[in-house]
Amino acid sequence: MKFTSLVVTTSLKLGTSSLRGLTVRLNGVPAFACTRALAEMLNDNGSAIAAQNIVLVGWGLRESSSSISQLCCAALENPA
């Protein structure tokens, strides 16, 4: 799966080490799409092979953490 360029107005911001914003804005398509983009980058630059295709997905104490982490895992399991 390849993503095409799309301009969307959002309150989500790319921070130093993560995507930042309200969890209600991240939960759903943004979590899946951003994780797919990260997976494609890791494949393209060889990092995925170097890490033996192992990616750790964590979550916090927020109510949405379980849903967001499941979306991230689903995005990582779906081949590009």
Q: What is the pLDDT of residues 16-27, one digit of tens each?
A: 667 788 888 889
Q: What is the pLDDT of residues 60-71, one digit of tens each?
A: 898 999 999 999
Question: DSSP string spanning 2-65?
Answer: -PPP-----S-EE-SSSEES-HHHHTTHHHHHHHHHHHHHHHHTTHHHHTTT-------SSTTH
Q: What is the pLDDT of residues 28-56, one digit of tens each?
A: 999 999 899 989 999 999 998 999 989 89
Residue 26 pLDDT: 86
pTM, two decimal places: 0.75
